[in-house]
Structure formats: structure tokens, C-alpha cells
Structure 1
Amino acid sequence: MVYRLLALDIDGTLLNSNDRLDRQTKEAVAFARKKGIMVTLVSERHFHSAAKVARALKLTQPIITHNGAFVSSSLDNPVYTSKIDHSVLIQLVEFLETYPCQIQISHERLSVSNRPRQKNLIAKMTIGMNEPLFYPVTYVDTLSQYLLENYEGATDVKIKLNDEKTMDTIEKSMHDYFPSLAATRVSPQDITLVRQGTSKFNGLLFFAGQMGIPLHEIVAVGDGSEDAEMIEKVGLGVAMRNAVPEVKEKADWITRSNNMDGVAYVVREVFRKQLRVH
């Protein structure tokens, strides 16, 4: 089998547990590119952050970010987006503002959040997922008023509230009143909302289609539950040794962990004997 596209998750896959890109990993990606393999990133990160990793790897192709909601090589010219419509966003925020939760809406340029009613929520909402500090977060008193004045969609909406019973109610309401959205209970205190159909796999599927590459010619490597679908459906799905059990069950092969140069091992084993792709 000749593989033409290598799709790599970032956190827990490309980066080690210290959030560093090892030399062996950089060299392996460069080796794959010299073989004529197209390399892209498929990440839950915001575009700003994922693009920084892409530059470090000298990648020029569009990357798949925001969990598949934004595919592009630049901020201004996306090749694919999957955003929550502005009208739905307003209705959603007006509904959520009846609860004492923190709401953060994001797109490729910035995040906007209401001011938290609970102490210490700002840090929990904005410092995480290894996002760079230069990703701008704007705090406003009333999100619904902000949306009335700024016509824009969102790649995702995050809800946080340290009240599990109320979060159970909110989660059920999302299914009942907002069928165009997909809700993921990240933790008992956190819910993430995206447009239905938004996923890493669908972002990758669109990108591969644009490049004329069928699924069976793709190698995908990841570790988190959001990687499971693409790992199951591509030609060669690879789970990191540190991956969650769900991903390992879907994978064709399990490589070494992210602290043991797992991506470099995949590239060496899969592409070493493959002739250069033209």
C-alpha cells in the first residue's frame, strides 16, 4: 500500500509530555515530506497555536484546527469552516445567561467570555490545552449584547459551572432545544458545543478530498477520544502508546508513546521502504 497523506494530532502525539517537539520527531516529519508524503496537523487547538507547531515543522499545507471546524493555512483564506451560525449563537447565549455559568465562545481569531460569577474560573477557562498566551480572550459583561453588535459565528462554545446537577440540566436542554449543536461533556463541570457534524475526521475528509487523496491512502496518528473516528476510518490508523483505550481499540497499530518518539517510529516503519510519491 502506498500512503500519500500523514495526519498528525498535536498534544499527546507530536509533543512530548513537556509540550516540546523533539528533534527526532522533526526529522521524521522532514523525512516523510522528502518522500513526497503530504503532512498535515489535525488538532483541537486554536489556529494560532496549531500554526505555530506547523511552522516549527515547516509545513505548508492547510492544517485542520478547532477540532475540524477550521481548515486553512492562514487566518484569512480558510478552505473549510464548520461554525455555529450567528442566529443560533445568539439564542444559545441568551438561554445560557439564565444560568450562573461562564460561557466562552471562540473562533479562529479570538475568544469572548462573560465575566465569571464564580471565583477562580478565569484561569480555569483560559489557561489550558497548552494554548499560547497571545491568543486573545475578551471579557464582556453581557455576551448576548456583544453578539448583537458583532456579527460572527463560533467554532465552539465552552460552558463551565461548578454545579453538576445544573450542568446535567443544561446538557439535557442542549439536546432538546438546540438540535443543530453537538454537546460533549468534557468533565462534570464542563461542556463543549460545536455545530453538528464538526469533527476532526470530517475536517480531514474535506481536506483529503480537496487534495484528491482517498481515505485508504491516509495514515492518521493520535491519542485522544476525538481522534478515534479518523483513526478507525483511514487506511492506517495509529494510536500512541499513551492513547486512551477507545483509540487503541480502533487503531490498526499502536506505536510508542509521545515520550518515546512514537511519531518518529511510525514514520520510520511505515515510510522507510515506500518509494517517493510523485
Structure 2
Amino acid sequence: MVYRLLALDIDGTLLSSNNRLNRQTKDAIQYVQKKGVIVTLVSERHFHSAAKVARALRLTQPIITHGGAFVSSSMDHPVYTSKIDHSVLMQLAEFLETYPCQIQMSHERLSISNRPLQKNLIAKMTIGMNEPLFYPVTYVDSLSQYLLENYEGATDVKVKLEDKKVMDDLEKSINDYFPSLDAWRTSSDSLTLVRKGTSKFNGLLFFAGQLGIPLHEIVAVGDSVQDAEMIEKVGLGVAVRNAPAEVKAKADWVTRSNDMEGVAYVVREVFRKQIRVH
């Protein structure tokens, strides 16, 4: 089998636990690109952050960011977007503001958040994301008022609420009242909302389709539950050893952990004997 596309998750897969991009991994990516294989990133990170990693790897193709909602090689010219419509955002903001929760609405340029309910929560406002400090977060008193004055969509909305029972009720209500959204729990107190059908796999599927590359010619490597669908459905799905058991169960192969250069090991083992792709 000749594989033409290598899709890599960033956090927990490509980067080590200390968020470093190791030299061995960089060299492996350069090696596979010289063989004519296209390399892309498939990440939940915002475009700002993922693009920095792409530049470090000298990637030239579009990358798949915001959990599949924004596919692009530049900020201003995306090849694919899947955003929550402004009208839905308005209704969602009004609904969420009836709960004692922290809300963060994001798109490729910035995030908008309601002001923290407690001062000691200010450090938690990039909810569950390993984002750099240069990613702008604007704090407002009322998200619904902000949306009245700013007509824009969102790639994702993150909600943080420490009362588990109230969060369970909130999640059920969102599923009942907002059928155009998909929701999943990233932890017991955190919820992520996206436009229905938005996923890493669907972003990758669109990107591969633009290149004319079928699924069986793709290698995908990841570690999280959000990576499980693409790992299961591509030609060769690889989970790193530090992935949860349910993700590894979907994989064709389990490589070394991210701290043991698992991506570099995949490249050596899978692409070493592959002839150059034309």
C-alpha cells in the first residue's frame, strides 16, 4: 500500500508532555515529505496556535484546526469552515447566561468570554485548551449584547460549570433545544459545542477530497476521543500508547507514546520502504 497523506494530532501525539517538538520528530516529518507524502495537522487548537506548529515543521499544505471547523493555510483564505450561525449563537448566549457558568465563544481570530464569576477563575478562561498567550481573549459583561453589536459566527463554544448536576441538566437541555449543535463533555465540568457534523474526521475528509486522496491512502495518528473516528476510518489508523483504551481499540496499530517519539517511530516503520509518491 502506498500512503499519500499523513494526518497528525498535535497535543498528546506530535508534541511531548512538556509541549516540546523534538528534533527526532521534526526530522521524521522532513523525511516523509521528501518522499512526496503530504503532511497535515488535525487539531482542536485554534488556527493561531496550530499554524505555529505547522511553521516549525515547514508544512505548506492547509491544516485542520478548531476540531475540524477551520481548514486553511492562512487566516484570511480558508478552504473550509463549519461555524455555528450567528442566529444560533444569539439564542445560545441568551440561554447559557441563565446559568452560573463561564462561556467562551471562539473563531479563528479571537475568543469572546463572559467575565469570570470569581477572580480566581481568571486563569481558567482558556477552557481546556493548550493555547499560547498571544491568542486574544476579549472579556465582556454580556455575550448576548456583544453578539447584537457584532455579527459573526463561532467555530466552537466552551462552557465550564463546576456543579455536575447542573451541568448534566444543561447538557440535556442543549441537546433538546439546539438540534443544530453537537455537544460533548471534555471533563465533568466542561462542555464543548460545535455545529452539527463538525469533527476532525469530517475536516480531514474534506481536505483529502480536495486533493483527490481516498481514505485508504491516509495514515492518521492521534491520542484523544476526538481522534477516534479518523483513526478508525482511514487506511492506517494509529494511536499513541498514551491514548485511552477506547481510542487504542479503534486503531490498526499502537505506536510508542508521545514522550517516546511515537510519531517518528510510525514514520520510520510505515514509510521507510515506501517509494516516492508522484
Query: TM-score of the superposition, structure 1-length normalised?
Result: 0.98
Q: Which amino acid aligns with 1:270?
A: V
Who is 1:40 aligned against? Answer: 40
* Aligned residue number for residue 265 of structure 1: 265
- Spell out, residue by residue over 1:89-110, the C-alpha distance to the aligned partner (whole angstroms, 9 max, x if none): 0000001111111111000000
**Where does 1:231-242 land on structure 2 (aligned, <5 Å)?**
231-242=231-242
Provide the secondary structure at the position in 2 that maps to 1:174: helix
Deviation of 1:127 after TM superposition, in Å, equals 6.8
SS of structure 2 residue aligned to 1:126: coil
**Is 1:183 the equivalent of 2:199?**
no
Alpha-carbon spacing, 1:247–1:44, altered in 2? closer, same or farther (3 Å): same
Superposed CA deviations along residues 221-269 of structure 1, whole A, max 9, x for unmatched, are: 0011100000000000001011111110000001111111111110011
Secondary structure of the 1:185 match is strand
CA shift in 2, pair 1:164/1:143, >3 Å: same
Aligned residue in 1 for 2:5: 5
Q: For residues 252 and 125 of structure 1, what CA distance do their matches in structure 2 show?
A: 37
- Cα distance in 2 for residues equivalent to 1:82 and 1:179: 15
Give 1:120 deviation, angstroms: 2.2
Counterpart of 2:111, as a letter, is: S
* Match of residue 143 from structure 2: 143
Shift of 1:128: 4.8
RMSD: 0.9
Q: 1:243 matched to which residue of 2?
A: 243
- Alignment map for 1:80-159 (pairs within 5 Å): 80-126=80-126, 128-159=128-159
Amino acid of the structure 1 residue aligned with 2:178: F
Q: Distance in 2 between matches of 1:258 and 1:188?
A: 25
Give the equivalent residue in structure 1 for 2:21.
21
Q: Which residue does 1:209 correspond to in 2? A: 209
Question: Does structure 1 conserve the Cα–Cα contact (< 8 Å) formed by 2:241 and 2:254?
Answer: yes
Cα distance between partner residues in 1 of 2:32 and 2:48 = 24
Aligned-partner residue type, residue 195 of structure 1:
R
In 1, distance between residues paired with 2:118 and 2:101?
8
Which blocks of at least 5 consecutive residues in structure 2 are unaligned? Answer: none
Instruction: Give, in whole Å, the separation in 2 of the partners of 1:169 and 1:119.
Output: 26
How many residue pairs align between the two structures?
Answer: 278
Moved more, 57-66 or 184-193: 184-193
Kindly indicate whether the alpha-carbon contact (under 8 Å) linking 2:47 and 2:65 is maintained by their aligned counterparts in 1. Answer: yes
* Matches of 2:130 and 2:200, distance apart in 1: 18
Determine helix, strand or coil for the equivalent of 2:71: strand
The CA deviation at 1:129 is 2.8
CA contact (8 A) 2:104 2:127 kept: no
Q: Please, which runs of 5 or more residues in structure 1 have no aligned partner? A: none
Q: Secondary structure at the match of 2:53?
A: helix
Could you say what secondary structure the match of 2:74 adopts? coil
Q: C-alpha distance in 2, partners of 1:69/1:30? A: 27
Shift of 1:169: 1.2
Structure 2 distance, partners of 1:121, 1:191, is 17
Query: Aligned to 1:71, what secondary structure does the other structure show?
Result: strand
**Structure 1 residue 122, shift from structure 2 partner:** 2.1
Q: 1:184 to 1:128 in 2, by over 3 A?
A: closer
Helix, strand or coil at the partner of 2:125 = helix
Aligned equivalents of 2:122, 2:163: Cα separation in 1: 16
Q: Which residue of structure 2 lines up, in the alignment, with residue 30 of structure 1?
A: 30
Does the 8 Å CA contact 2:183/2:193 hold for their aligned counterparts?
Answer: yes
Partner of 1:171: 171
Query: TM-score, structure 2 length as denominator?
Result: 0.98
1:166 Cα deviation from its structure 2 partner: 1.3
- Report the alpha carbon displacement of residue 130 of structure 1 after superposing the two structures with TM: 2.1
Residue type of the alignment partner of 2:88: V
Which residue pairs with 1:252 in the alignment? 252
